[in-house]
Structure 1
Amino acid sequence: MVYETGNPTVDDAVERVLAGERLDRTDGLALIAQPVEDLAPAADYVRSALGDGTVDACSIVNAKAGNCAEDCGFCAQSVHFDTGIETHGFLDPEEILDAAKRAERDGAQRFGIVVAEKGVSKERRPDEWEDVVRAIRLVRDETDVEVDASLGILTREEAEILAAEGINHYNHNIETSPRFFPEIVETHSFEDRVKTLELAKDVGMELCAGVILGMGETPTDRVEGAIALQDVGVSSLPVNILNPVAGTELGDELGDSADISTAEIVRTIAVYRLLHPEARVRLTGGREVNLAVDEQHLPFEAGADGILTGDYLTTGGQSPGDDIEVIERAGLEPNTETNEFDPSAVKARGENPHQPDEPVETATDNAELDD
């Protein structure tokens, strides 16, 4: 059956995607100019045709917080900004395991170990590197979640070790388009980030890499970012929405709100689905502060099929039970392929967080791939 909205640009894109064709930059620019009421159902149709009807949940732990030497204008953990966050060195691996067990209980299918620094270093900080590897092994061996990592720039030796230890996805967000990137970060380049992604993929890890919306980028930048991710080849595409933090460059510039509307968020998600038809398009940080409670389901009706659940690196999120309700409102269901869990039990704990059905705390703490 041919999908038809009556919008020839959108209908042609859907037909070509379902025929196995990869859309390009020209297509993306044409699509992002289309009405969201045409794009959203079309992208949802593609998701339903190529996906499994589930939303895949991940969670993360801020394994090393603050004092990062990089100057990313959105990041509360940069030493260049005075944001008043709590800082700490790399957590004890047992603490990371505890966080992974809470994430597992709350329905996460994958769990990411994240550090705030340009890159872990086996050579310069061997003790920290040993803790990283030990934490990976603990989570891998003692939970059912897949182990992911966001450890910054890697050497080939480090990447090969991580792949051998069972890291499933390596996260290294490109943040925005190549054009806009220097407006946000000056201490390293867009190319630096792409090289790390290429290295991680070359040694066998899947890639989780995405963007932050609402930093002042244009719709063209949003498309250019998605095209760059096509070139790299990602299986998980996290879409953060800026949550401006006071004291950061963008927090001081933009105030309390990201520079993007709800319609633009939904439109961008839909275009990303059409440009990345087989990836998990994952709604991540900043969604709770940029989308009203009765709007949070809209991206999942426009092609999104992944979510970051729990807290973020330096800011809190809503409960995993609330996230499941958002997923179900969109007519989807949580993924349970890797970690079988009872969604009704997670929702019940959200209503009664002290429910003593398991001797583990309920909230996934310290979790976003960007602030």
Structure 2
Amino acid sequence: MVYETGNQTVDDAVRRVLDGETLDRTDGLALIAQPADALAAGADLVRREFSDGTVDACSIVNAKAGDCAEDCGFCAQSAHFDTGIDTYGFLGPEKVLEAAKRAEADGAQRFGIVVAEKGVSKEHRPDEWNEIVEAIRLVRDETDIEVDASLGLLTREEADELASEGLNHYNHNIETSRRYFPEVVGTHDFDDRLKTLRRAKNAGMDLCAGVILGMGESPTDRVDAAIELQGIGISSLPINILNPVAGTPMGDRDHAAISKPEVLKTIAVYRLLHPESRVRLTGGREVNLAPDEQHLPFEAGADGILTGDYLTTEGQDPGDDIEIMERAGLEPNRAVNEFDPEAVKAKHRDTDPDTAVGTATSNATTELDD
């Protein structure tokens, strides 16, 4: 295929990706220095060649909120910071299932059970572990959506058990580059996260692992994070944009420390570095991109979305998300969960029901993947 953006660096990279070559760190650094419009055009072509023309939607539930002993500087759920969020223990299998059924009705293809802590420990908290496993079984058996989880650090035994229960994806974000990680987290290190990702993959689960943009990292850090994920091998790459939460070390500003063009450039570079992964736009998009700008990431290589609420902050209406996909010339993925997009849009337009995430209890709301 002959395709020219007019930018030689981008055009050469696109041709090499389409020829089956894997781009490296040098390529990534050269690309992220290019103009956003050329990068977006090249990444959109790569997405069209490798993807199926759909946007894959996932939803999450904040299944246990707050009092986390880790000190991740972006996170409202850390016990180190006074953020005023509601805290609660594990919701229980039935309430998790209720949230999963709402996600299914809203068109999600995957549903993530999220527990905010360093790691759900089978050894130290066996009752909680058993409830989580039961929740996985219920979602697996009583819905048509894939069941995923984000439970923190895992042992090999825990990873093997989760895989044997049918957990499809394991989410564990690396957040940023190895170099910048100590500026964000002090209570565990970068290699702890990589070990868990490898254990989940070795157990047979697909990996969902990504980043948060706008925490003060450099463009080089953004590229280095993507290269790190290349080495692990992921199927879904969530891209969060910092939504500053008052009380956290990163909460003393109105928006993320990244411009809209830099967000779009990073998404495009991530598509070129990960041509066969779902590049997924997730937390923080609503506060960093205007409503009439949210289609732009899907014209710059993105083909996945986190719909509904997040972990401690409200998200966006699933019907609105479907309209964003369509504005970008794409359609929602229905490969796992067959649903009627028009019915989802009409339901939310007419009745404004609860969305899947964080509404399993009246006071449970949601935010970024931890």
SS in 2 for 1:229: helix
Residue in 1 that maps onto 2:214: 214
Residue in 1 that maps onto 2:177: 177
- Contact conserved, 1:58 with 1:111, CA < 8 A, in 2? yes
2-structure distance, mates of 1:9, 1:293: 31
The reply to whether residue 139 of structure 1 matches residue 139 of structure 2 is: yes
1-structure distance, mates of 2:140, 2:278: 22
2-structure distance, mates of 1:216, 1:78: 19
Matching residue's letter, 1:370: D
The reply to whether residue 282 of structure 1 matches residue 274 of structure 2 is: no
Deviations 1:231-275 (A, max 9, x none): 1110000000000000001113xx111001111111100000000
Using the TM superposition, give the Cα deviation of residue 63 of structure 1 relative to its aligned residue in structure 2, in angstroms.
Answer: 0.5
Residue in 1 that maps onto 2:363: none
- Contact conserved, 1:200 with 1:207, CA < 8 A, in 2? yes
2-structure distance, mates of 1:83, 1:267: 32
Matching residue's letter, 2:280: R
Residue in 1 that maps onto 2:268: 270
Residue in 2 that maps onto 1:41: 41
- Contact conserved, 1:106 with 1:362, CA < 8 A, in 2? no
Q: What's the TM-score once normalised by structure 2's chain length? A: 0.97
1-structure distance, mates of 2:369, 2:61: 12
Matching residue's letter, 2:188: H
SS in 2 for 1:251: coil
Matching residue's letter, 2:334: T
- Contact conserved, 1:150 with 1:170, CA < 8 A, in 2? yes
Q: How does 1:99-178 map to 2 (within 5 A)?
A: 99-178=99-178
The reply to whether residue 197 of structure 1 matches residue 189 of structure 2 is: no
Residue in 1 that maps onto 2:328: 330
Deviations 1:38-80 (A, max 9, x none): 0001100000011000000000000110000000000000000
| CA RMSD after TM alignment | 0.9
Unmatched 5+ stretches in structure 1: 355-360
Residue in 2 that maps onto 1:250: 250
Using the TM superposition, give the Cα deviation of residue 352 of structure 1 relative to its aligned residue in structure 2, in angstroms.
Answer: 1.0
- Contact conserved, 2:312 with 2:368, CA < 8 A, in 1? no
Using the TM superposition, give the Cα deviation of residue 365 of structure 1 relative to its aligned residue in structure 2, in angstroms.
Answer: 2.8
Using the TM superposition, give the Cα deviation of residue 6 of structure 1 relative to its aligned residue in structure 2, in angstroms.
Answer: 1.7
2-structure distance, mates of 1:168, 1:2: 37
Residue in 2 that maps onto 1:364: 356
Q: What's the TM-score once normalised by structure 1's chain length? A: 0.97
Matching residue's letter, 1:174: I
2-structure distance, mates of 1:304, 1:175: 18
Residue in 2 that maps onto 1:54: 54
2-structure distance, mates of 1:190, 1:137: 31
The reply to whether residue 316 of structure 1 matches residue 314 of structure 2 is: yes
Over 6 Å off, 4+ runs:
none
Unmatched 5+ stretches in structure 2: 359-365
2-structure distance, mates of 1:4, 1:24: 21
Percent of pairs with identical residues: 76
- Contact conserved, 1:353 with 1:362, CA < 8 A, in 2? no
